[in-house]
Structure formats: C-alpha cells, structure tokens
Structure 1
Amino acid sequence: MSDQILQGKTAIITGANSGIGFEAAKDFARKGARVMMAVRNIEKGNGAREQILQEVPQAMIEVLKIDMADLASIRDFANTVKNHLDSLDLLINNAGVMMPAYAKTRDGFELQFGSNHLGHFALTGQLLPLLKHTADSRVVTVSSLAHKGSKILFNNLDGSMGYKKFQFYGQSKLANLMFARELDKRLKAAGLETKSLACHPGISATNLFKFGKQDAPHFLIGLAGKFLQPADMGALPTIYAATHQTLKGGEYIGPNGKGRRRGYPALDTPHPVANDETVITRLWDVSEKLTGVTYDFS
C-alpha cells in the first residue's frame, strides 16, 4: 500500500481527536481514505472532525465511540465495525495515556498497561477477521522511546505492589512493541497477507501529556512545542508505517534525527529488551487470558 493509493481504503485510528492520531487522520483523509476516528469523547471527536473538514472538505470521516480502558466498550465498537464493514485496510493503534496518577481501568487493570496495551490487544484481535480478509492490510501500533530499558512486571501488572508512573508507562510501550512484532510473526506463520508494524513519534509536543484523563494546560503544551517535535512531524512515522510500500512487516519506524527524538521517518532498532522471546510469549498468553480475546489466524 502506498500513499498514492489510499483512495477507497478504510482506516480506523484510535485516539484520533488530538495529537498524532489527529494528524494521521487528516493525512489519510486528504489522500482519499475513509477514516473512522475511534475516540473516547464524542464531543471532542466531532470537533476534530469539523477541523479536518475545514481543511479537507471532501474528507470521508466519521466518529465512533470507544473507551480503551473498558473491554465492553472495545467489544461493542468491534461488533459495530464488523456489522458495517466487509474489509479493513488499516488499524492504527494510537490512543494512549501517559504517566497519570495511579488508577485502574473499568476491568481492574492498571490504567496505562490496560489502555495502552491490553485495550489495543483486545481491539486488534476482535478486528482480525476483517483485517485478514483484506488484501495488503496493516496494523500499526504506536510505541515509544520509553520502551528502552523497561520490563514487563508480570508479578505486579496491576500496580498493587507499588506504582511508579514512568516505569509503568515504559512497560506499556514495551508491551506495544512486543505485541506488534509478535503479531507480525504469527500472521506470517499463518500465511496471511496482513502486516503488523510498530512505530514511535520521537519526543513530540502532543496532548498525550495529560494529568490522568485531563488535558495538559495549553501553556505546557505550548512550552513543550518550543523544544519538542510538533504533532504533524510526530505523526510521520505512523503514516510511513501505514503506507510505505517497501515495508515487509515487523519493522519499527521512528524519526531519523539525533537520539531518534526528532526528524523524518526511518527504520529504527528496538532496544534489546524487546527481543526476549520468553517474555514475548508470556506477554501474549497473559494478554489473551486478561482480555478474554483469543486470536484466530486460520
């Protein structure tokens, strides 16, 4: 799939009402894709849709509700999509929370691991029937530089034995990266065309910098914007992973500048911690057990 032939394709983007997700939605819409903005707050989603339509009047874009911290909401969303679509070309696992105070999802998971990883694990598994029957489909999962040096705390996944918000953010982003690469491996082993890729935005000034579920103050986002990569640049690795024709699946895409913090998209190398096959397999098994979602690759 190249960015020249997004015309007529269908893309779902979680967390598409702001930041990287918003910029990706706008880019895909401009290139002729039908974009489904999967958002927790419908009012904000509709506002983002109106912004895109002002810039791209011909955009085919709709807003659907999903709460990545609620497995029932994810299931309802997936069922709605499967009832209305026969195919799905792109799934962009973008939504996330970053370093909130300790909190749990509706299902009792630590909020970052539950929303950032388990929610997308559940969503992807439930949309797999559409993806695997769509030629050249892709799943792109957004990770982070924060995966470096992180680990999966299997004995404390819910944070009940102690919680450090950056440590748990890094864990969730490591899980995203492990999931994306393991998914691609399993898709290939099953002989399926669907590709799974991971990406990261470098360090971007986006609305991901939140206080719990509250948006960061505008002055803080503005200050960050003077030093960090703007959201439209931060979205480029996502767009590249979703559309670049030479990618085979399993790649990790990030900015090409110093420290991979800024710049234009290029192949990146995951930290060695992301290559532990024992941890990867255990994470997959635990994720299936916690979410109740089992992947069908047949």
Structure 2
Amino acid sequence: MNIYNSANTGIGFETAKDLARRGAKIILACRDELKGLQARDDIIRLTKNDKVIFKQLNLSSFASVRKFADDILKTEQSIHILVNNAGTGVLDNALTKDNLPVEVHVNHFGPFLLTVLLLPLLKSSAPSRIINVSSIMHRFGKVNPQTFHKQAKNILERRRVYSDTKLANLLFTLKLSQLLLGTRVTVNALHPGAVSTDIFRNQHPIVRYLIKLVWKTPYEGAQTSIHLAVAPELELVTGKYFVNCHEDSPSESAKDIHLAEQLWKLSETITNVMFS
C-alpha cells in the first residue's frame, strides 16, 4: 500500500497515477474532500485500477494527522511507500489552531508527525520507502531551532519561510535516515524541478502564465518521485538528495547533523511524539 499526501493535483497526482498503473494500492491523503474524491475517480478511470482510496488529511492540524494515522494503523496491514508531497508557499503569517505558522506547519511539522506515527507499520512492512519532496530553494533557507516554529517578524522573514521549510525537509531526511539504519526502511528527498502546479495559485495571473509557459509540467516534475519509489537499485539507498532522477549534493546546511538533531528535538516537542 502506498500513501501520497496532497495527491489531488500536480506532481502528487501524477506520482499516484503512475504507481496505480503499476498495480499498486493507493491511498490519496488530501485536505479537500471534493478534489480528493475527484482525483480518486480520475485515477481509477485512467488506470483501470480500482484499488485507489481517498482519505481526508489536513496537515495543518495535528488532530487530523493523528486521526488519519490511527485509521491507517487500524485498517491497513502494510505501507511500502510513503510520499510526503504536500507543500505550500508564500502564505500569510497566520497561525494554525496548534499555534504554528501555517506554512511551517504544512511543510514540516505535519509531515514529521505523520511519518513518525506511521513508522511502526513502515518498519513491519520493510522493505519500504519514505520520499520527502523538498526543493532547490532549500539552498536559500536557514533553520534556527529557537525561532523556526514562530511567526515571521517582517516581510523579509515571511518570504524566506518556504526555503526554510524545504531545508527542514532535508534535515528531517538526514536524521531519520540515521535512526532507521538496519530497518530496511529508507528515506530520501528530492527537488522535482521548477514545476507549474497549484502551489502558485495565489500568484498574480501574469506570474502564473509565465510559470506555466517555461516550467516543467506536473508529469515531468513527478519523475524523480516515481524513480525514488520504484527503482530497484535504490532499495538500500537512504539519506540522499535527488534531482532529475540522479543523486545530487544538497547545501552544506542540509548536511549539518547537529542542526538536524536540534530540529528533530524541537519537532518531537512541538508534535508531542517520540521516535520508536
């Protein structure tokens, strides 16, 4: 069984559709019920695979993440692939009900909690793979464990939040890969390329037009996620960063294990969950 969060559009949809065509059982974990159900129906129609399920998941709510994970642990016997695909950018500075900046919550703390809660099933299903969709924008990010979970103070800080969270995705991948050594559960991260997806739906229409004109399509952007999910030669590869289906070197900050450990401790505290 394979889980994709935010799989109703963009590269998440294309990744789920590809693996459905290969005969996999798919769970689409999406916030919007109508879009999630439509994506399920579209994938079934296009792939002729009726083992495609929608389950609601709101990554900006710890209660929703816990409810979703509890449901999966009770109803599913295995998870072989978990794709943490959901992400959002350039949002306002609002706080979620869990008192976290919404962009930081959706891009890091939500996927962190979801992954840790599902680890027992991922381990018992091994070999299994965790795939974290990051971005080349991580190279412009900074993670300060004292302030990462707090509201941005000014417009410059707000504009850097996306890059900060994409760096957090890589630090999460680094630390988790070390914790999972010997379990046959791998975790890798990727940059999908510059892709025209719904993440830019709040941008000016002219900006959206230019993005669609010159950037990758969602199908093209999904290829590295698919590669990490199915390539047999990657079964034991873990803790790496991929671009265009090839291993690449992330920023020096993304390789800082001390920083990764600090972020991990903060994330455990914020989400009230412990690795096991």
The TM-score normalised by the length of structure 1 is 0.87
CA distance in 1, matches of 2:46, 2:211: 25
1:172 aligns with 2:165: yes
Deviations 1:52-98, CA, capped at 9 Å, x for gaps:
12211224101000100000000000000011011110100011111
Taking structure 1 as reference, are residues 168 and 217 closer, same or farther at Cα in structure 2, changes over 3 Å only? Answer: closer
**Counterpart-to-counterpart distance in 2, 1:227 and 1:59:** 35
User: Secondary structure of the residue that 2:104 maps to in structure 1?
Assistant: helix
Q: Which amino acid aligns with 1:54?
A: R
- Aligned in 2, Cα 1:210/1:111: closer, same or farther, shift over 3 Å? farther
1:226-248 C-alpha deviation (Å, 9 max, x unpaired)? 11011111111111111112221
Which runs of at least 4 in structure 1 moved beyond 2 Å after TM superposition?
Answer: 153-157, 160-166, 216-223
SS of equivalent residue, structure 2 residue 52: strand
Separation in 2 of the partners of 1:54 and 1:218?
31
Equivalences for 1:225-264 in 2 at 5 Å? 225-247=212-234, 248-255=237-244
- Correspondence 1:1-298 to 2 at 5 A: 10-157=1-148, 158-162=150-154, 164-188=157-181, 191-211=182-202, 221-247=208-234, 248-255=237-244, 265-296=245-276
Conservation of the 8 A alpha-carbon contact between 2:93 and 2:152: no
2:141–2:165: 8 Å Cα contact kept in structure 1? Answer: no
1:207–1:221 contact (8 Å) kept in structure 2: no
Superposed displacement of residue 218, structure 1: 7.4
> Which amino acid in structure 2 is aligned with residue 272 of structure 1?
E
Question: What is the rounded CA distance, in whole Å, between the counterparts of 1:11 and 1:31 in structure 2?
Answer: 12
Per-residue CA deviation, residues 7-41 of structure 1 (Å, 9 max, x unaligned), is xxx10000000101000010010000000000000
Aligned Cα RMSD in Å?
1.6
Gaps of 5+ in 1: 1-9, 256-264
CA distance in 1, matches of 2:196, 2:152: 31
**Match of 1:227, as an amino acid?**
V
Distance 1:177 1:42 in 2: 29
Contact 2:141 2:164 in 1 (8 A): yes
Q: Cα offset for 1:160?
A: 4.9
Deviation at 1:130, TM superposition (A): 0.3
Shift of 1:220: 5.3
Equivalent pairs counted in the alignment come to 272
The answer to whether the 8 Å contact 2:152/2:158 transfers is: no
Q: Is the 8 A contact 2:62 2:98 kept in 1?
A: yes
Structure 2 distance, partners of 1:181, 1:240, is: 19
SS state at 1:267 partner: strand
Deviating more after overlay: 76-85 vs 47-56 = 47-56
Whole-Å separation in 2 of the counterparts to 1:224 and 1:121: 29
Larger helix proportion, structure 1 or 2?
Answer: 2
- Percent of pairs with identical residues: 33
Structure 2 runs not aligned, ≥5 long:
none
Secondary structure of the equivalent of 1:155? coil
